[in-house]
Structure 1
């Protein structure tokens, strides 16, 4: 599974790497709502939450599904403006870009949490199609009264919701985000300069590899593939490609691929101590390898010591070829190591790899 971006005909000058204060505020709100997704930021989240005004904390709950269960495209409004507009340098300027979206664009992006609308292809709009409106309200009802109230307001009076949303974001900026952005923006600007230099000097493939090992370029096919546990497609067409770094976003690697919006890769800034995350295919392979009862029993032995195929066959009451097949599956999944000692071949479980499986799986599904 993956999200594919068709970049046929994309010119180098239409590729930009630019930080976005509004996108980072969206990620800050997500981190506050889901600190479990970001264990390295729990200290920051706890400090911010403790200092919040009670009224603002309550207001955060009114529409937290825009940044908790989804990361709304409203936080990257530059993508929806025709002509390839880039993120602005300040939050105020970015909120001005948000104001430039049409009511239809705003409503459709805000209703993404209901899954009532098609995302990466042409489809009806909520403000003009009664069936979509009914479906959006039905899906919102399944998520609770808070979502129903928000959806009704959004469909009946988009301007009031837009005013509320902008004021809320400005209040968040005053309460905690301005200080956070002042600390983060230099790191994000430095990362953007680094990726831009790679793009100019070594090409798009090198720049994307530096963004994440989960992003690959097939130059012959003119396609960027982002390894994710979802399927989607978009194209730059006669527009551009935007790369937006985030300091608060790991492990999320997001692709904005809304129909007729400029494609955006919203990627976490890397750190030397972070191991490269496994691909969805690797995760599937490892979990499938461990799902068989015989291989689970083999792992119990191989976690304690190194064994030969013959020893394992005797313990398990199976033939050596049968054990070899199971060991081959585990080895292909990268879960065991093999070494030769004289004429014997010893197998042992890679305990560190197995220990990482839970966190790798979580990162994979959150990516």
Structure 2
């Protein structure tokens, strides 16, 4: 499985390494929401969460599916603005100005990515104008709880007011914690971008992409980049409405995630982590064998990819994987007996989620693989 980016006809000078305050804010918010994904950032996440004012903390829960369930493309708006610069802004304010330039249909589709994971790369109408997708978005938001549903209803009814609300939220995050955080990591990320740009100029795209991650490879003959992930997607770096180009953005908060923006008519983006801390794996041989046996089926690995990001219902997994509910239930039972997932009830929904503590004991390679 992989995400493929066709770069046929793309000159090397259209490959950019750049840093983005808004993209890094998104990863920081993800770290706050899912600290189990980021053991190396445990101290930062704990201190930051404790310092948040109650009002800001409460507002963050209203739209956390933008950075918790998936990493929404709203954090990289430069890639979706038609005819605009192919790199992010130099400040959070400039990045947010780019977000303001997205038309409402594009903005709503990007904000509701978690409702269309199975059709992400195919594109299509926005839930803002399509009744079927609108109903689907509401149903899937309802499975997350009342706040996501309320946010989704507001977004569909009046996207303009939500855009103002979201910009103010990000600006308040900047005031509360991100400005200091960005100053701490900005120089590291800028140095990383310069280093990779220099490598690109000296040794070419294959060397630069290979230095980003072992999961990113370039087939020079086919002019195709392959990003090894537990998902399948395809896009092109040329011929998009946003203009030709490929942007690579380093992240200090990213590990173990390696995100790829490959939405239709958006310029592709690879958002990659800088540094990969090691995790301990003290599982006994008997426990390890039982759990690895449970993971030997490729479909259960795909289930782990979804459940590692956020809780899912059986119905949502059925839709995302395009298989029957009984088949999903059988695989969930195997994972649960191995102690790899947990379940909890929320109203009429039963939510399943990967147990990050248990998975971490299987080793950093597996953790990085399912969360990449």
Q: Do both share a fold (TM > 0.5)?
A: yes
**Which residue in the other structure is 1:65 paired with?**
65
Please give the alpha-carbon distance, in whole angstroms, between the structure 1 residues aligned to 2:293 and 2:4: 25
Query: Does the 8 Å CA contact 1:245/1:268 hold for their aligned counterparts?
Result: yes
Please give the alpha-carbon distance, in whole angstroms, between the structure 2 residues aligned to 1:360 and 1:106: 35
Query: Does the 8 Å CA contact 2:86/2:245 hold for their aligned counterparts?
Result: no
Structure 2 residue 254 is the aligned partner of structure 1 residue 249: yes
Q: Deviations over 1:262-302 (max 9, x none)?
A: 00000001369799xxxxxxxxxx9469969xxxxxxxxxx
Structure 2 residue 274 is the aligned partner of structure 1 residue 269: yes
SS in 2 for 1:225: strand
Query: Does the 8 Å CA contact 1:22/1:76 hold for their aligned counterparts?
Result: yes
Please give the alpha-carbon distance, in whole angstroms, between the structure 1 residues aligned to 2:146 and 2:140: 11
Following superposition, the deviation at residue 202 of structure 1 comes to 0.2
Q: How many residue pairs get matched?
A: 296
Following superposition, the deviation at residue 145 of structure 1 comes to 1.6
Please give the alpha-carbon distance, in whole angstroms, between the structure 1 residues aligned to 2:192 and 2:162: 34
SS in 1 for 2:112: helix
Following superposition, the deviation at residue 149 of structure 1 comes to 0.7
Please give the alpha-carbon distance, in whole angstroms, between the structure 2 residues aligned to 1:38 and 1:185: 19
What does 1:323-334 align with in structure 2 at a 5 Å threshold? Answer: none
**Which residue in the other structure is 1:105 paired with?**
106
Query: Does the 8 Å CA contact 1:116/1:139 hold for their aligned counterparts?
Result: no
Please give the alpha-carbon distance, in whole angstroms, between the structure 2 residues aligned to 1:22 and 1:190: 18
SS in 1 for 2:227: strand
Q: Deviations over 1:307-331 (max 9, x none)?
A: xxxxxxxxxxxxxxxxxxxxxxxxx
Following superposition, the deviation at residue 142 of structure 1 comes to 2.4
**Which residue in the other structure is 1:349 paired with?**
none
SS in 2 for 1:207: helix
For structure 1, the residue ranges without an aligned partner over 5 or more in a row are 276-285, 293-354
Query: Does the 8 Å CA contact 1:233/1:257 hold for their aligned counterparts?
Result: yes
What does 1:57-206 align with in structure 2 at a 5 Å threshold? Answer: 57-83=57-83, 84-115=85-116, 118-206=119-207
What does 1:220-259 align with in structure 2 at a 5 Å threshold? Answer: 220-238=221-239, 239-259=244-264
Structure 2 residue 214 is the aligned partner of structure 1 residue 209: no
Please give the alpha-carbon distance, in whole angstroms, between the structure 1 residues aligned to 2:4 and 2:11: 18
- Larger displacement relative to structure 2 (45-54 or 132-141): 132-141
Following superposition, the deviation at residue 236 of structure 1 comes to 0.7
- Larger displacement relative to structure 2 (131-140 or 233-242): 131-140
Tell me the TM-score normalised to structure 1 length: 0.77
Query: Does the 8 Å CA contact 2:86/2:247 hold for their aligned counterparts?
Result: no
Tell me the TM-score normalised to structure 2 length: 0.76
Q: Deviations over 1:167-201 (max 9, x none)?
A: 00000000000000001000000000000001000
Please give the alpha-carbon distance, in whole angstroms, between the structure 2 residues aligned to 1:58 and 1:105: 26
Query: Does the 8 Å CA contact 1:117/1:132 hold for their aligned counterparts?
Result: no
Following superposition, the deviation at residue 222 of structure 1 comes to 0.9
Query: Does the 8 Å CA contact 1:141/1:147 hold for their aligned counterparts?
Result: yes
Q: Deviations over 1:133-157 (max 9, x none)?
A: 1121122222222221111101000
- Larger displacement relative to structure 2 (85-94 or 119-128): 119-128
What does 1:261-300 align with in structure 2 at a 5 Å threshold? Answer: 261-270=266-275, 287=292
Two-structure CA RMSD over aligned residues (Å): 2.3
Following superposition, the deviation at residue 206 of structure 1 comes to 0.4
SS in 1 for 2:367: helix
Following superposition, the deviation at residue 209 of structure 1 comes to 0.8
**Which residue in the other structure is 1:51 paired with?**
51
For structure 2, the residue ranges without an aligned partner over 5 or more in a row are 281-290, 298-359
Please give the alpha-carbon distance, in whole angstroms, between the structure 1 residues aligned to 2:5 and 2:139: 32
Q: Deviations over 1:68-98 (max 9, x none)?
A: 1111100000010123431011001110000
Distance verdict in 2 for CA 1:356–1:274, change over 3 Å = closer
Q: Deviations over 1:29-66 (max 9, x none)?
A: 00001000000000011111111111111111111111
Query: Does the 8 Å CA contact 2:255/2:276 hold for their aligned counterparts?
Result: no
